[in-house]
Structure 1
Amino acid sequence: MNASALHRAKTSRVNGDDGSPGFGVYIHWPFCAAKCPYCDFNSHVRHQPVDQARFVEAFRREMETMRGWTGPRDVTSVFIGGGTPSLMRPETVGALLETADGLWTLPAGIEITMEANPSSADAVRFAGYRAAGVNRLSLGVQALNDADLKFLGRLHNTEEALKAIAMARDTFPRLSFDLIYVRPGQTLEAWEAELRAAIGHAADHLSLYQLTIEDGTPFKALFEAGKIGIPDADRAADLYELTNTVTAELGLPAYEISNHAVPGAESRHNLTYWRYGDYVGTGPGAHGRFCVEDGKKRVTIAERVPETWAEKVTETGHGIVEEESLDAEAQGDEMLLMGLRLVEGIDVARYEALSGRSFDPARLAMLQEEKLVEPVANSRIRATQSGRLVLNALVAELAA
């Protein structure tokens, strides 16, 4: 471990949010022990041990290439996602962070998040990740009852989930965990009880996602065959409203459609996405978005198959297979779609400067009258709770 990594590891305080869009580094570790039936993320199961040293070298080379594209940047967060990053050896995590630090420089106390699953939670590994510099863990819990965990294809049970949460709280300065709701047959009463129990175990952040049936997943085939069903839109809206009420009551109000935190404990990395900041994405299937000299935003999408990605990196220095250049209008549309997810909303002046256009006053007044948007502090607008339920339509109206 180099000196800077050791300094990061020993820093107890995680630097807070300065309100800027920020610049993030996303690292995608694509391997899982099993593929969940609802998941459409780029994750892969391998029945032989993964050659972690080979992939570290590929990550190192791709990050070097990306550093050449971005130039020096002030990094505000690092996020190691997947897949299941907690299947990595701590030495692998350390090597990835040291590479990022050597290329962009990671300030002391910077938010460094790593995803983990309860089924791969281990006290020794957790201590190793902490020593490598990870100071925020995101646990994929997904449910707190065994029947639904089995339905969701998770490898852990409730007892193991709670043990992993406790272990993480003892090891990392900050902790988040995920739950999926709007599950088949889920009642308001059952979800409220489960949510209140979850908040009792939570540290400072919860990600609460509604179950969606994604194309290409086993759940999609079962849904189309009529073998599973999910609550209808009205019940989903009721569950969403209940979620916001309970989390606010218990001190973790929503700051984004699906994310709730003790004030000051919001995910700095995810705020970069929602505030339409810049980020590089490295690893199989990773996406990146960062500004280039002509004012356009460069979009990068990497090869999804891990071994093919690694081969491509060896050959060309990166695994990118798709690229796009976003002009001002496209950037404005994306900023609207992302920023209106946030309770803080969007800065109107920044939107106008980025997109080169202004909101139509009559249309904005109409949306305010319909209680879908509202002004904030004379400089921002945000979607109301009702507006966030119809976000895509709202964005289309504002961008017209």
Structure 2
Amino acid sequence: MARVTQLADPADPGFGVYVHWPFCAAKCPYCDFNSHVRHQPVDQVRYVAAFLKEMDEARRLSGPRTVTSIFLGGGTPSLMDPATVAAILDGIAARWAVPAGIEVTMEANPSSVEATRFRGYRAAGVNRVSLGVQALNDRDLKFLGRLHDRADALKAVALAREIFPRMSFDLIYARPDQTVEAWEAELKEAASYAVDHLSLYQLTIEEGTPFHGLHKAGKLIVPDGDQSAALYEATQAITAAIGMPAYEVSNHAVPGAESRHNLTYWRYGDYAGIGPGAHGRLTAAGDKIATETERRPETWLAYVEEFGHGMTVQEILGEEEQADELLLMGLRLREGVDLARWQSLSHRDPDPAREQFLIDHGFVERLGNSRLRCTPAGMLILDAVVADLAC
């Protein structure tokens, strides 16, 4: 499969555009994303018009920029018609400079109905697809509330591999009763399908989801801390052995096939967030602006049609807030955090005693004098490491 020739320059995080399609055919029981099920057809023409209006507001804030990546997420973007995708991509190109060949990713589910649209998406300009496979056996797919089975998933993977220059797929691990041996076999099988990128997430029990209620009632038992750690360590070992090492805590790629768009997030670049529930970070007149939009699709649509956008937050971030976000995002990456950039925002050096404590315990390490990163052991307690360094 074709892939980008090199990892994007850490000194240039880039400028991404994220478009959120909030609708799903069904709500998965583990999901706390901004996704909504509608039993009547969605008026895609009306939503496209609203996306384009909100792009105007984002363009006003961002000024002229060159787009380095586009990501269509959700929800389930593969419920969109190819004509809808084409109109959105054309709208982005009408407002910002979009060089030929940049990464254009679309999340897709591997159901047979959605896979029939793949060629239309490719013709519209999508060149990278991220498939929500989640598991490679029917029992766990049913448990996770997925609408596809193993056969659907493998057909979709084969079709995507044929149509798109680049492909990723997601798997969820730390499922009930999952052994390290079973997970290792599943990972090796996943890699055998010639994907160039895998997103591998531990199952987490999020408040407000059906799984949270079951877990609280003792009806859903997930692996304990030791077993989860063993599964995580097996993930790192297997992916490294098959040539897809981790470049971020949950993301693995053949070198050169890292997600350009997600690197923009983790390197704390700018990105426009368009659509219901989308977040953005835009630099305007020297200020870093955090944006958020209304989460409820119909309310967002009404706001856009009345006011020209659905943004409910446009907040200027102080330098200390930016420094904290830079640290939070950057320590997720294998390449770590640019210390000079962090120091220029925080106006201080890392606390020597705290840093040395974390180094002595094998949780962080210096890369020369310019970068600080988590070790594999530190990634297991990432939130605690970030909290300690941010103090």
Interval of TM-score (by shorter of Structure 1 and Structure 2): over 0.9
The structure 1 residue matched to 2:357, chosen from 366, 369, 376, is 366
The structure 2 residue matched to 1:317, chosen from 308, 311, 314, is 308
Counterpart of 1:22?
14
Over 3 Å counting, the alpha-carbon distance change for 1:249 and 1:340 in structure 2 is same
Distance in 2 (CA, whole Å) between partners of 1:355 and 1:84 is 38
Indicate the SS of the match to 2:93: helix
Counterpart of 2:273?
281
1:352 aligns with 2:339: no
The structure 2 residue matched to 1:303, chosen from 285, 288, 294, is 294
- The one-letter code matched in structure 1 to 2:340 is A
Distance in 1 (CA, whole Å) between partners of 2:156 and 2:70 is 22
Asked if the contact 1:176/1:206 (under 8 Å) is kept, the reply is yes
Show structure 1 runs of 5+ residues with no match: 1-11
Percentage identity across paired residues of the two chains: 65
Counterpart of 1:397?
388
Asked if the contact 1:79/1:112 (under 8 Å) is kept, the reply is yes
Distance in 2 (CA, whole Å) between partners of 1:394 and 1:232 is 21
Asked if the contact 1:23/1:77 (under 8 Å) is kept, the reply is yes
Asked if the contact 2:365/2:373 (under 8 Å) is kept, the reply is yes
The structure 2 residue matched to 1:165, chosen from 157, 179, 203, is 157
Asked if the contact 1:15/1:110 (under 8 Å) is kept, the reply is no
Distance in 1 (CA, whole Å) between partners of 2:3 and 2:204 is 36
Point out the more displaced range, 356-365 or 142-151. 356-365
Asked if the contact 1:332/1:354 (under 8 Å) is kept, the reply is yes
1:240 aligns with 2:228: no
- The one-letter code matched in structure 2 to 1:304 is R
Indicate the SS of the match to 2:220: coil
Point out the more displaced range, 148-157 or 348-357. 348-357
The structure 2 residue matched to 1:192, chosen from 179, 184, 191, is 184
List per-residue Cα deviations over 1:92-145 (Å, max 9, x = no partner): 000000000110121111000000001155555111111111000000000000
Counterpart of 1:49?
41
- The one-letter code matched in structure 2 to 1:323 is Q
1:81 aligns with 2:73: yes
Asked if the contact 2:108/2:114 (under 8 Å) is kept, the reply is no
- The one-letter code matched in structure 2 to 1:395 is V
Distance in 1 (CA, whole Å) between partners of 2:245 and 2:381 is 20
**Where do 1:251-290 residues align within 5 Å?**
251-290=243-282
TM-score after normalising by structure 2? 0.97
- The one-letter code matched in structure 2 to 1:386 is A
The structure 1 residue matched to 2:375, chosen from 384, 388, 400, is 384
Show structure 2 runs of 5+ residues with no match: none
Distance in 1 (CA, whole Å) between partners of 2:180 and 2:116 is 39
Distance in 1 (CA, whole Å) between partners of 2:115 and 2:180 is 35
Indicate the SS of the match to 1:337: helix
Point out the more displaced range, 173-182 or 195-204. 195-204
Asked if the contact 1:359/1:398 (under 8 Å) is kept, the reply is yes
- The one-letter code matched in structure 2 to 1:158 is R
List per-residue Cα deviations over 1:62-99 (Å, max 9, x = no partner): 00111011101121100000011111110000000000
Indicate the SS of the match to 1:118: coil
Asked if the contact 2:266/2:329 (under 8 Å) is kept, the reply is yes
TM-superposed deviation, 1:18: 3.1
Indicate the SS of the match to 2:20: strand
- The one-letter code matched in structure 2 to 1:370 is H
1:375 aligns with 2:366: yes
Asked if the contact 1:27/1:282 (under 8 Å) is kept, the reply is yes
- Please give the root-mean-square deviation of Cα atoms over the aligned residues, in Å: 1.3
Distance in 1 (CA, whole Å) between partners of 2:66 and 2:348 is 29
Counterpart of 2:117?
125
Counterpart of 1:114?
106
TM-superposed deviation, 1:357: 1.9
TM-superposed deviation, 1:372: 0.9
Asked if the contact 2:61/2:283 (under 8 Å) is kept, the reply is no
TM-superposed deviation, 1:13: 6.5
Distance in 1 (CA, whole Å) between partners of 2:28 and 2:112 is 15
Asked if the contact 2:5/2:256 (under 8 Å) is kept, the reply is no
Asked if the contact 2:3/2:257 (under 8 Å) is kept, the reply is no
- The one-letter code matched in structure 2 to 1:317 is G
TM-superposed deviation, 1:378: 3.0
